[in-house]
Amino acid sequence: MTTDQTPQSLEFECETGNYHTFCPISCVAWLYQKIEDSFFLVIGTKTCGYFLQNAMGVMIFAEPRYAMAELEEGDISAQLNDYEELKRLCLQIKRDRNPSVIVWIGTCTTEIIKMDLEGLAPKLEAELGIPIVTARANGLDYAFTQGEDTVLAAMAHKCPKEAPKVEAEKEERNAISKLLNFGRQKEDVAAEESEYVDHPPLVLFGSLPDPVVTNLTLELKKQGIKVSGWLPAKRYTELPVIEEGYYVAGVNPFLSRTATTLMRRRKCKLIGAPFPIGPDGTRAWIEKICSVFGIEPKGLDEREAHIWENLEEYVKLVRGKSVFFMGDNLLEISLARFLIRCGMTCPEIGIPYMDKRYQKAELDLLEKTCQEMGVPTPKIIEKPDNYNQIQRIYESKPDLVITGMAHANPLEARGINTKWSVEFTFAQIHGFTNARDILELATRPLRRNNSLKDLGWDKLVKEEAKV
């Protein structure tokens, strides 16, 4: 709880935690696509499998590099030997898919029966000759996107500790750099290097689609900042080197464990910045990184102004309207901050879990944005209670509710515009360029319902729900 009680400071509350969200094992769906040589093995029950199969819809059919190790009664009652069972399945995976890493996703069941995955992994790793990463992404402890956080925190341990020695591998490296720079003059390559300011190595963490990675990397390059690596990289074998003293910065608000691991275990320095979501966030993110490296950012004013100019047709639609976040994916603070900057008001931000240290800069920016836009600061509700929230929605009648699919159709049937929150997780929303996509999503219900507004089809349930 913030002790600073100025009228505009943020208010935090905590409810019952009775809310709808995805199980954190859903992270395998985007992580297996991101890390191309991985295989994700979810060690759990039919319940987990059923969730994945239904939540991932069509993706399941494109030869997924993930599977369930479905626990049977014999596993639960320890009639079967965990080690032998996992060995059998992992051998099968090795034979059929030959991945560079197998990621074990621990679930509620493995927690309850206390299956020692962290203990079994190194032994089996040695026997199989494939690295095994263990992540406990279970519904007992985490919500939705936090699943990625547990996987990346586990992977942070596996990043190489030091850059390959230049002398020992000089020739090979030359060969590679020759290959990479093939056809270009040595001077050009040198010139390219000189585009960067001399600063300590920076590694970014958070899984983003490759085009967004390129985009953000180039954005920093414009400021002379070199991104030494990303956690995760496209392939497990390309995990970035992380040495003591490296700087790291997060690109997503749900990565607090990863941040903690990088700071405490890998002795990195965390750049606490707002997240590059929306042009305001992207600018603040870049500015913060620049300031840490003592760089004077250039051209950001114009860049941001230009983006806002292009967004005007969308911003028009939301200006003066209100948005209510029910909360399920931890992107809520950043999205609310961006939408408030677009001219919206926000009575409530629900969020599964609020790390006030990791999100400090983002929270500060939210507060500042509210002051600058002259709107009241939102109430931040940690572990919300969906039932109570729905009563509050009925009372305050927001113009837009960002919510999970369990509530979207029932709310629409009662004449309340909704946007499915999960889409923000899968859409490309980072950086200057993708700000349009956020608004494209956020305004879609408003645009659609605009075209229906004269038909008198607002309320499509006979009686109002009991309050």
Q: Which is nearer to another protein, 158 or 414 (CB)?
A: 414
Residues 6+ apart with CB under 8 A from 50: none
Annotated binding site: 23, 48, 108
Size of the site for another protein (CB under 8 A): 64
> CB atoms < 10 A from the CB of 387, how many?
11
Nearest Cα neighbor of 239 from 35, 30, 32, 31 is 35
Torsion region of 137: left, alpha or beta (phi above 0 gives left; psi -120 to 50 gives alpha): beta
Q: Which two tokens stand for residue 121?
A: 């992994």
Count the residues in the chain: 467
Q: Is residue 406 near another protein by the rule CB under 8 A?
A: yes
The region of 89-97, 167-175, 193-201, 319-327 touching another protein under the rule CB under 8 A is 89-97
Q: Which is nearer to another protein, 144 or 230 (CB)?
A: 144
Q: How many CA atoms lie within 13 A of 248 on its CB side?
A: 30
The region of 52-60, 227-235, 310-318, 439-447 touching another protein under the rule CB under 8 A is 52-60
Question: Dihedrals φ, ψ of 9, to 5°?
Answer: -75, 155
Q: Is residue 53 near another protein by the rule CB under 8 A?
A: yes
Q: Is residue 456 near another protein by the rule CB under 8 A?
A: no
Question: Measured from the CB of residue 48, what is the shortest distance to another protein in angstroms?
Answer: 8
Near another protein in 124-163, by CB under 8 A: 138-144
Do residues 323 and 400 lie in contact, with contact meaning Cβ atoms separated by under 8 Å?
A: yes
Question: Measured from the CB of residue 446, what is the shortest distance to another protein in angstroms?
Answer: 21
Question: Measured from the CB of residue 60, what is the shortest distance to another protein in angstroms?
Answer: 7
Q: Is residue 423 near another protein by the rule CB under 8 A?
A: no
Residues 403, 412: Cα–Cα separation, whole Å: 11
Measured CA to CA in angstroms, residue 43 lies from 346, 384, 456 at distances of 40, 29, 50
Site string for another protein, 352-391 (x = CB under 8 A): -----------------------------------x--x-
Do residues 133 and 103 lie in contact, with contact meaning Cβ atoms separated by under 8 Å?
A: yes
Among 15, 37, 60, 100, binds another protein (CB under 8 A): 60
Q: Is residue 59 near another protein by the rule CB under 8 A?
A: no
Question: Dihedrals φ, ψ of 454, to 5°?
Answer: -90, 0
Among 8, 88, 192, 415, binds another protein (CB under 8 A): 88
Question: Dihedrals φ, ψ of 379, to 5°?
Answer: -85, 130
Q: Which is nearer to another protein, 162 or 464 (CB)?
A: 464
Q: Which residue has the tokens 């939705």?
A: 144
Do residues 23 and 48 lie in contact, with contact meaning Cβ atoms separated by under 8 Å?
A: yes
What sign has the CA pseudo-torsion 428, 430, 431, 434? positive
Near another protein in 215-274, by CB under 8 A: none
Torsion region of 315: left, alpha or beta (phi above 0 gives left; psi -120 to 50 gives alpha): alpha
Among 10, 35, 68, 339, binds another protein (CB under 8 A): 68
Q: Is residue 112 near another protein by the rule CB under 8 A?
A: yes
Q: Is residue 67 near another protein by the rule CB under 8 A?
A: yes
Among 15, 33, 64, 440, binds another protein (CB under 8 A): 64
Residues 430, 437: Cα–Cα separation, whole Å: 9
Nearest Cα neighbor of 203 from 251, 157, 235 is 251
Q: Is residue 28 near another protein by the rule CB under 8 A?
A: no
Residue 80, SS3? coil
Question: Measured from the CB of residue 51, what is the shortest distance to another protein in angstroms?
Answer: 5
Residues 6+ apart with CB under 8 A from 204: 216, 227, 229, 230, 231, 248, 249, 250, 251
Among 59, 270, 405, 446, binds another protein (CB under 8 A): 405
Q: Which is nearer to another protein, 43 or 318 (CB)?
A: 43
Q: Is residue 109 near another protein by the rule CB under 8 A?
A: yes
Site string for another protein, 174-213 (x = CB under 8 A): ----------------------------------------
Question: Measured from the CB of residue 421, what is the shortest distance to another protein in angstroms?
Answer: 12
Annotated binding site for [4Fe-4S] cluster: 23, 48, 108
The region of 104-112, 153-161, 316-324, 364-372 touching another protein under the rule CB under 8 A is 104-112
Q: Which residues bind another protein (CB under 8 A)?
A: 17-18, 20-25, 43, 45-47, 49-51, 53-55, 57, 60-61, 64, 67-73, 75-76, 80, 85-86, 88-89, 92-93, 108-109, 111-113, 138-144, 387, 390, 404-410, 413, 460-461, 465-466
